[in-house]
């Protein structure tokens, strides 16, 4: 059971309010420490899956205070060890057992073992990185992918996948769509356009100067997209979002996403630079279809895992934004699927 330590800084007279806020929440322990300057530190130990409910309640109660701050820390270990919740025995029907309170079943259904919303947001935001480091990683990934594609070297292509610079912006865009967060969406779109543009320009230059042969197996495989290619992209987006919400390793997610994005993008640029427009168009269609599939699967997975804004009015706004975005992604995906079907028939 992963644990988190929630550290809250408050005015010194907030101890009674804190006790009332924590009443009824599923936490392991909590304690207070007086600080200089008439401030109070409250430390709360809780299981990872309970953190979001605790943080939402704390923010709703104390965010109006000027001197409040919340800090979330991972906990490697604690003694005594936390006890696992006992498994409830199944009861026979008709025994007069008490009915679940309204909303209790919904609460249980939402316990999917994912990390809390703020931790997920910080991970996705940090995944974009600074423009300079992100640009360098894009260029390095494109160079490695170009070398692997032109030499038909699977191991080198996998190296480009591990670098996976397009992971961050696409997962950030999917999360921004789910939460209705315009600022994160703008940052993700900007990073996506920057990354795609840099990779395309570099691969165009490589294609112009080195004239790669479009019949090379690694490149030819990405110039004749099929409908089953969309399944790979949908699986990639689902794996990325699912692993992120579960706190999975970014390297594994990056491999899954990069396999659907960077190789066809670099293939498109090199073939276009080498004056092979028809196969270049096939690689571009594959890249666009994969890009849409990754984002659509990411949004669907975030929604299925119960990722939502804190307040009800933000949730309503996010639902409308998510609905519009999903409809747009689906329409674009269907249009590209139709193009791929007609091209293959």
Same-domain status, 338 and 200: yes
Please state at what angle helix 250-273 crosses helix 131-150, rounded to 10 degrees: 60
Name the band, by pLDDT with cuts 50, 70 and 90, for residue 98: very low
143 & 25 share domain:
no
The answer on 150 and 18 residing in a single domain is no
Q: What is d(CA 228, CA 51) in angstroms, rounded to the nearest whole number?
A: 39
Q: Is residue 244 part of a domain?
A: yes
- Per residue in 198-247, pLDDT tens? 999 999 999 999 999 999 999 999 998 887 778 877 887 788 788 888 77
Partners of 157 in beta bridges: none
Domain at 67, CATH number = 3.30.70.120
| Chain centroid offset of residue 37 CA | 39
- Residue finishing a domain among 79, 104, 134: 79
Residue 333 lies in a domain: yes
172, 295 contact by CB (below 8 A): no
CB distance 266 to 146 below 8 Å? yes
The answer to whether residue 94 is domain-embedded is no
Eight-state DSSP code of residue 25: S
**Length of the chain, please?**
345
311 and 219: one domain? yes
Task: Confirm whether 39 is domain-assigned.
Answer: yes
Note whether residue 72 is domain-resident: yes
Q: What is the pLDDT of residues 18-36, one digit of tens each?
A: 988 998 888 999 999 999 9
Q: Distance between CA atoms of 181 and 172, rounded to whole angstroms? A: 10
Question: Tens digits of per-residue pLDDT, 153-162?
Answer: 988 988 887 7
The answer to the question of residue 114 being in a domain is: no
Total domains, the chain: 2
State which residues form the domain around 50: 3-79
Mean pLDDT of 159-174: 84
Within-domain flag for 96: no
pLDDT at 118 over 60: yes
Quote the distance between the C-alpha of residue 32 and its chain's center. 34
Tell me whether residue 95 is in a domain: no
Distance, CA of 94 to CA of 171 (rounded, Å): 47
């Amino acid at each position: 059971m992963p644990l988190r330590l929630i550290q809250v800084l408050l005015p010194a007279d907030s101890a009674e309010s804190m006790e009332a806020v924590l009443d009824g929440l599923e936490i392991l322990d909590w304690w207070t420490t007086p600080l200089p300057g008439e401030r109070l530190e409250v430390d709360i130990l809780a299981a990872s899956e309970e953190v979001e409910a605790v943080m939402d309640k704390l923010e709703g109660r104390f965010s109006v205070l000027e001197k409040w701050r919340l800090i979330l820390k991972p906990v490697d270990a604690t003694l005594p060890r936390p006890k696992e919740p006992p498994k409830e025995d199944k009861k026979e029907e008709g025994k007069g057992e008490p009915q679940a309170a309204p909303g209790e079943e919904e609460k249980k259904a939402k316990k999917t073992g994912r990390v809390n919303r703020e931790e997920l947001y910080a991970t996705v935001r940090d995944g974009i990185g600074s423009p300079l480091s992100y640009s360098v990683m894009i260029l390095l990934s494109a160079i490695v992918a170009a070398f692997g594609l032109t030499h038909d070297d699977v191991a080198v292509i996998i190296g480009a996948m591990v670098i996976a610079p397009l992971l961050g912006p696409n997962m950030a865009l999917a999360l921004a769509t789910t939460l209705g967060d315009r600022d994160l969406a703008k940052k993700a779109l900007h990073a996506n356009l920057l990354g795609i543009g840099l990779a395309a320009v570099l691969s165009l230059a490589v294609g112009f100067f080195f004239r790669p042969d479009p019949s090379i197996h690694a490149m030819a495989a990405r110039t004749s997209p099929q409908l089953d290619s969309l399944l790979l992209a949908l699986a990639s987006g689902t794996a990325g979002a699912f692993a992120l919400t579960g706190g999975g390793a970014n390297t594994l997610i990056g491999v899954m996403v990069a396999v659907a994005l960077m190789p066809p993008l670099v293939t498109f640029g090199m073939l276009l630079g080498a004056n092979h427009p028809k196969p270049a168009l096939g690689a571009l269609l594959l890249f666009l279809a994969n890009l849409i599939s990754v984002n659509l699967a990411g949004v669907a997975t975030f929604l299925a895992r119960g990722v939502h804004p804190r307040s009800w009015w933000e949730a309503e706004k996010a639902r409308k934004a998510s609905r519009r975005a999903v409809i747009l992604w689906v329409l674009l995906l269907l249009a590209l699927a139709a193009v791929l079907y007609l091209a293959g028939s």
